[in-house]
């Protein structure tokens, strides 16, 4: 009996051939084509049983036509010749009547991409609903046997992106991803974590589930700790959510225009360039844009066709580069960089347990939840701890504590980094566990 048909995905040759056909049909002065297609499967589970199964195929063909400084886009989810032709004509009609773009840049010329093949795992592509259900069943059985209420998701995806334009730019990437998220709850205790990999076989489902069950059991009957400034040991999952805010805000235009923590000002308080090259963080902070990292092996280009190559972002605590859009790079006489994605922060050979053992007094934070801006210019954010927060005493986890709200300037958090653990992948980031000497908690919350 056949339970499911293996998903199909366009090959790189098929995708680039389609991009070529669209460009040939164009009558505009310039045209940019973006094709994305994917096969996704997801299982949700709650109360120790599967609650939802989803499987979908998605495809989008976007066409942007240019006449001088005027442009407009149209898209379709159909690949027959009539639908493609209609989409080309529609984008051209809209482009002719569009207003001129005051931040117009010419179409991107052909780029040099890293000579590597992104990870594409056939076992992940073919991972069937039955196999997914069996994996979830094992997780739910572990939860049931421990008296835990388990919930979460297990998903797999195969993805292709191809871009091209009338100046000869061509690029195509195919990748796979598997993701597992699990929350364990019992009484007033809870825990959570996530793992992501390019191969389903790289995710430690059972060991992670067992670890989170133990943490949930240990987090019951939390005590109150007064708000204040404390040393903190961050699990990698928690730190990933905070570090990403810093990297997102390494934007050259915002810095040059005085809207960023990376801005310099003169004596009159007016914008005076940026702080690139100034040591702002602990020397332990080393961050790269590294799509070829062994745990990632992501694509070689961005959606606009710019190369996604290795770049030093922060070295020895000193920002090395800012993110330049094509327009702002043109204005400043710089090279465009594309986004600072994906994030990779260097770690050490220590474990999270080692960081805890080296901490006399402090707080262990396993999750940073609902992080939001307080002040974008200083990069002060607020958020809450969640899913297992613990007091550390004399190098050991002493007892669980009630969750705390934090108000923290993230550049100051990175200044206070004084120890790192080994790295793990969370989503599209690779980060270590981190200890900081001082982190500001502003109030106690009732969240679990």
| 271 falls within a domain | no
| 135 falls within a domain | yes
Q: Are residues 207 and 291 part of one domain?
A: no
User: Cα dihedral sign for 438, 258, 304, 307?
Assistant: negative
Residue with tokens 């052909």: 110
Mind listing the pLDDT tens digit for each residue in 226-256? Answer: 999 999 999 999 999 999 999 999 999 999 9
Q: Are residues 281 and 419 part of one domain?
A: yes
Q: Are residues 189 and 243 part of one domain?
A: no
pTM: predicted TM-score of the whole model, two decimal places: 0.94
| 369 falls within a domain | yes
Q: Are residues 160 and 107 part of one domain?
A: yes
Q: Are residues 174 and 65 part of one domain?
A: yes
| 6 falls within a domain | no
The closest of 111, 37, 98, 24 to 66, measured between CA atoms, is 98
Residue 209 zone, left/alpha/beta (φ > 0; ψ -120 to 50; rest) = alpha
Q: Are residues 281 and 196 part of one domain?
A: no
pLDDT at 6: 42
Q: What percent of the chain has pLDDT over 70?
A: 98
Q: Are residues 238 and 207 part of one domain?
A: no
Q: Which helix (H) or strand (E) holds 237?
A: helix 236-248
pLDDT at 8: 66
Q: Are residues 233 and 374 part of one domain?
A: yes
Mind listing the pLDDT tens digit for each residue in 116-161? Answer: 999 999 999 999 999 999 999 999 999 999 999 999 999 999 999 9
Q: How many CA atoms lie within 13 A of 69 on its CB side?
A: 7
Task: Report the number of distinct structural domains present in the chain.
Answer: 2
Q: Are residues 236 and 107 part of one domain?
A: no
Q: Are residues 210 and 101 part of one domain?
A: yes
Q: Are residues 235 and 115 part of one domain?
A: no
Domain membership of residue 193 as a residue range: 12-215
CATH code for the domain in which residue 31 is found: 3.30.2290.10
């Amino acid at each position: 009996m056949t339970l499911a048909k293996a998903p199909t995905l366009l090959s790189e040759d098929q995708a680039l051939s389609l991009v070529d056909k669209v460009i040939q049909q164009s009558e505009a002065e310039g045209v940019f084509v973006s094709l994305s297609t994917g096969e996704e499967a997801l299982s949700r589970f709650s109360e120790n049983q599967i609650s939802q199964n989803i499987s979908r195929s998605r495809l989008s063909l976007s066409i942007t036509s240019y006449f001088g400084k005027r442009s407009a886009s149209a898209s379709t989810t159909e690949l027959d010749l009539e639908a493609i032709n209609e989409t080309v004509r529609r984008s051209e009609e809209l482009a002719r009547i569009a207003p001129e773009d005051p931040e117009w840049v010419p179409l991107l010329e052909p780029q040099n991409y890293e000579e590597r093949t992104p990870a594409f795992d056939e076992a992940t592509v073919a991972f069937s609903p039955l196999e997914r259900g069996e994996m979830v069943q094992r997780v739910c059985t572990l939860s049931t046997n421990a008296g835990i209420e388990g919930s979460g998701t297990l998903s797999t995806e195969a993805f292709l992106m191809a871009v091209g334009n009338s100046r000869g730019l061509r690029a195509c990437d195919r990748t796979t991803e598997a993701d597992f998220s699990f929350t364990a709850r019992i009484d007033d205790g809870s825990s959570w974590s996530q793992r992501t990999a390019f191969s389903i076989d790289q995710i430690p489902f059972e060991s992670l589930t067992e670890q989170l069950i133990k943490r949930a059991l240990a987090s019951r009957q939390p005590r109150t700790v007064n708000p204040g400034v404390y040393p903190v040991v961050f699990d990698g999952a928690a730190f990933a959510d905070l570090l990403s805010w810093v990297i997102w805000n390494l934007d050259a235009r915002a810095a040059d225009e005085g809207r960023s923590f990376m801005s310099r000002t003169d004596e009159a308080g007016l914008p005076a360039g940026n702080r690139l090259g100034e040591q702002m963080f602990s020397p332990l902070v080393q961050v790269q844009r590294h799509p070829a990292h062994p745990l990632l092996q992501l694509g070689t280009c961005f959606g606009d066709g710019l190369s996604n190559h290795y770049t030093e972002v922060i070295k020895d605590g000193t920002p090395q580069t800012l993110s330049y859009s094509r327009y702002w790079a043109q204005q400043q006489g710089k090279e465009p960089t594309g986004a600072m994605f994906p994030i990779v922060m260097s770690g050490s050979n220590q474990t999270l347990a080692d960081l805890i053992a080296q901490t006399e007094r402090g707080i262990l934070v396993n999750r940073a939840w609902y992080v939001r801006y307080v002040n974008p210019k200083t990069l002060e954010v607020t958020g809450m701890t969640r899913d297992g927060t613990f007091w550390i005493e004399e190098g050991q986890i002493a007892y669980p504590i009630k969750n705390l709200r934090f108000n923290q300037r993230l550049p100051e958090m990175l200044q206070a980094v004084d120890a790192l653990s080994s790295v793990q992948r969370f989503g599209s980031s690779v980060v270590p566990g981190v200890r900081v000497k001082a982190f500001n908690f502003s109030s106690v919350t009732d969240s679990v």
